[in-house]
Amino acid sequence: MRNQNPLWKVILVAIVLLVAGLYALPNIFGEDPAVQIRATEPGQEITIDIQDEVKQVIENKDIPLKSSALKNGQFLLRFNNTEDQLSAADHIRQALAKRPFTTALNLAPAMPGWMESLGLSPMFLGLDLRGGVHFLMEVDMESALDSAQESTLEAVRLTLRNNRVFYQNLQLSPDGVVQVKLRDAGDFEKAEPLIREAVPEMTVASIDSKDGFTITMPEAVATELKQTAIQQNILILRNRVNDLGVAEPIIQRQGEDRIVVELPGVQDTARAKEILGAAATLEFRLVDQENNAANAASTGRVPLSSKLYTDTQGSPVLLKREVILTGESINNASSGYDQNSATPAVFINLNSSGASRFAKVTSENIGNLLAVVFVDNKTDDIKGVDGEIKRQTTKVEDVISIATIQDTLSNRFQISGIDSPQQAQNLALLLRAGSLAAPMLIVEERTVGPSAGQQNVEQGFTAAIISLALVALFMLVYYRFFGIAAVLALVTNLVLIVAVLSALQATLTLPGIAGIILTIGMAVDANVLIFERIREELSVGNSPQAAIHSGFDRAFGTIIDANVTTLIAAIVLFGLGSGPVKGFAITLSIGILATIFSAVVFTRLIVNAYYGRRSAKTISI
């Protein structure tokens, strides 16, 4: 009996190893600490002058620059270490503070250009290996439902007022039910169809006295609203993170009402929290110039058609209840400076429907005052009397600007009266990204420095090399030539894991490295099963060739059983686990599949190549 390799199997293994080697190769070259600059306004370009200016800033600060390049509209500057990267980023931000450009930290692959032209790229490194911030954010679903019922209340108010149906009381109860009490019970028959038409998705019921209604939200509508809220919040968070310029962020849902946000490379935790958690938007309202705001504030008697606010100085302001425009009509926003007063300002671009409405209202109110209201939801934890922590969401509405309408305003205008350039930048970013459907609270926060991430990489790499060396030493001493085959299969296994992670652009985390190290230890199990089976066949008097053949064939079923059970456990871990556990499960699953290939196919290929054409009386095992 001869154990020979079919030609098709040799060619197949050669192709697999070649492709795996190509995909794994970019990881050898590592990554360069880099600073990425991109425009925040459509049509804005990073010109040669801007590139020269940025490089001059770095040169003046004596920061060594490794290389720079403009690619896909982004200017990327590479540095030798993270200290130079962080220092350069700070100076570049200061130099470009008054212009529409975003400066972000990044890690750029250091592989040769020919690999990039082939579409190859290294694995992504997770937050614990690269450094950055991790947030676990909880969506306040109750606020989303309350906001929907407030919209219901406002729709009912406008409907009754426009149809001259007078009400005695209209309010939102603490349990989220809109209650309507009519002034005249005779208007009941007229009001009922109007209200049902105004809020068709709600449940409208008459009260016993037949002079009012209760409006509640059906469970199906509430469930859909919650799903929509978390989906919209994820979308808005992605927009905000893109505007922050973060490379390779992770934004994903966790459970029913939580969102995980990981921002690699971000070290300014305070600004990240401020931008991500803000549930802010704008409202444009006309100022009520017919009534006295100070009298309304002191007496508590506010006209039905108006609403009492305070400006940034704390002074009372009366505004019309009708909202002319909201942040939903804003297409784009950028920060800058008012040409006349040189104070910070935000420049607004409206969509077509918003521009039409704004032009109509402003043309009819030339000479009147227009106010801009900044609306935000602040969520705080309040300790109750019984010691239980309760969450309280407060709606904050501040008038940030009041100006006289001097001409018809259309799709582009500016908001002035903003305190600082940083406030103007943040407001423009929020308006560009859109407002959250419901406020969110950061329930977990973790920061990993770039040096700590680098240390994790080095320690993980060292652990992998040590474990590989120890396993290889044992196999060489105990199984001799067959140990050499097992070591080559082990190296092949490691290359396959790295290649698959790179091809899938998976994110490697510290638990993922643990999964790879565990796979190294487990990978030789399959070879041990095969080699021990061969020894058993030799001990009962079979020839070396027959022992090799039987050893591989009879151990195959045991290898499959052992690895499939582990694979099932890894799949369960991936399905039920959180982020770090998923990273471990992914690398473990890939490692198991690579182990089966390397032990069953590759090891046999090597053994057959060495012993297949020889009439050996003994084998080195």
Q: What is the CATH number of the domain that holds 495?
A: 1.20.1640.10
3-state secondary structure of 315: coil
Any domain includes 102 = yes
Closest CA relative to residue 435, chosen from 276, 259, 587: 276
Are 156 and 170 in contact by the 8 Å Cβ rule? The answer is yes
Closest CA relative to residue 398, chosen from 271, 281, 272: 281
Mean pLDDT across the stretch 246-261? 81
DSSP 456-497: HHHHHHHHHHHHHHHHHHHHHHHHTHHHHHHHHHHHHHHHHH
Cα 172 to Cα 215: distance, rounded to the nearest angstrom: 9
Tens of pLDDT, residues 273-317: 767 766 667 788 888 888 888 888 888 888 877 888 887 777 888
Alpha-carbon separation of residue 388 from 137, 140, 142, 143, 385 (angstroms): 20, 18, 18, 20, 7
Tens of pLDDT, residues 417-430: 676 777 777 777 77
Which residue is listed with tokens 């308006």?
431
Tens of pLDDT, residues 477-501: 888 888 888 888 888 888 898 898 8
DSSP 282-302: EEEEEB--SS-HHHHHHH---
Same domain, 306 and 423: yes
Q: Residue 97's domain is classified under what CATH number?
A: 3.30.70.260
Beta bridge partners of 508: 125
Of 379, 414, 440, which one is at a domain's C-terminal end? 440
Any domain includes 241 = no
Percent with pLDDT over 90 in the chain: 1
Q: Which of 146-150, 349-353, 374-378 has the lowest mean pLDDT?
A: 374-378
Same domain, 506 and 599: yes
Domain encompassing residue 185: 142-221
Cα 571 to Cα 379: distance, rounded to the nearest angstrom: 37
Question: What pLDDT is stored for residue 383 in this prediction?
Answer: 52
Question: What pLDDT is stored for residue 115 in this prediction?
Answer: 86
Same domain, 591 and 469: yes
In the structure, what pLDDT confidence band is assigned to residue 18 with cuts at 50, 70 and 90? very high
Q: Which of 196-200, 545-549, 612-616 has the lowest mean pLDDT?
A: 612-616
Beta bridge partners of 257: none
Any domain includes 78 = yes
3-state secondary structure of 441: strand
Same domain, 467 and 601: yes
Q: Residue 415's domain is classified under what CATH number?
A: 3.30.1360.200
Of 393, 416, 440, which one is at a domain's C-terminal end? 440
Cα 224 to Cα 355: distance, rounded to the nearest angstrom: 31
Same domain, 284 and 306: yes
Q: Supply angle C-alpha 327, 442, 219, rounded to 5.
A: 70
Q: Is residue 381 predicted with pLDDT exceeding 60?
A: no
The length of the chain is 621
Number of domains in the chain: 4
Which has more pLDDT, 392 or 84? 84
Q: Report the 10 Å Cβ neighbour count for 514.
A: 18
Cα 234 to Cα 252: distance, rounded to the nearest angstrom: 7
Question: What pLDDT is stored for residue 309 in this prediction?
Answer: 87
Cα 263 to Cα 126: distance, rounded to the nearest angstrom: 9
Question: What pLDDT is stored for residue 578 in this prediction?
Answer: 65
User: Parallel, antiparallel, or unpaired: how do β-strands 440-448 and 316-320 relate?
Assistant: unpaired
Same domain, 422 and 458: no
Tens of pLDDT, residues 109-124: 888 878 878 888 888 7
Any domain includes 480 = yes
Tens of pLDDT, residues 29-84: 877 888 888 776 656 778 888 888 889 989 888 899 888 888 777 888 989 887 88
Same domain, 291 and 306: yes
Q: Residue 208's domain is classified under what CATH number?
A: 3.30.1240
DSSP 331-400: EEEEEEE-TTT--EEEEEEE-HHHHHHHHHHHHHTTTSEEEEEEEEEEEEEEE-TTS-EEEEEEEEEEEE
Alpha-carbon separation of residue 565 from 486, 490, 514, 571 (angstroms): 22, 21, 19, 10
Q: Is residue 391 predicted with pLDDT exceeding 70?
A: no
Q: Is residue 614 predicted with pLDDT exceeding 70?
A: no
Any domain includes 251 = no
Which residue is listed with tokens 């080095």?
458
Same domain, 384 and 293: yes
Closest CA relative to residue 273, chosen from 447, 520, 58, 528: 447
Same domain, 428 and 286: yes
Are 215 and 202 in contact by the 8 Å Cβ rule? The answer is yes
Q: Which of 217-221, 263-267, 348-352, 539-543 has the lowest mean pLDDT?
A: 263-267
Q: Which of 137-151, 374-388, 450-464 has the lowest mean pLDDT?
A: 374-388
Are 261 and 275 in contact by the 8 Å Cβ rule? The answer is no
Same domain, 301 and 433: yes
User: What letter would DSSP give residue 123?
Assistant: P
Residues 6+ positions from 286 with CB-CB distance below 8 Å:
319, 320, 322, 324, 361, 365, 368, 369, 370, 371
Are 31 and 109 in contact by the 8 Å Cβ rule? The answer is yes
Cα 425 to Cα 98: distance, rounded to the nearest angstrom: 9
Any domain includes 18 = yes
Any domain includes 226 = no
Residue 363, CB-side half-sphere exposure with 13 Å CA sphere: 7
Q: Is residue 17 predicted with pLDDT exceeding 80?
A: yes
Tens of pLDDT, residues 552-610: 888 888 888 888 888 888 888 887 776 667 778 888 888 888 888 888 888 888 888 88
Are 494 and 440 in contact by the 8 Å Cβ rule? The answer is no
Cα 313 to Cα 319: distance, rounded to the nearest angstrom: 16
> Burial of 447 by CB count in 10 Å (0-12 exposed, 13-18 middle, 19+ buried)?
middle
Closest CA relative to residue 594, chosen from 120, 24, 28, 116: 24
Of 378, 406, 440, which one is at a domain's C-terminal end? 440
Cα 340 to Cα 360: distance, rounded to the nearest angstrom: 26
Same domain, 482 and 590: yes
Tokens of 197: 């038409």
- Sign of torsion, CA 249 251 254 258? positive
Alpha-carbon separation of residue 98 from 47, 94, 303, 339 (angstroms): 16, 8, 42, 13
Same domain, 210 and 324: no
Mean pLDDT of the chain: 80
Any domain includes 313 = yes
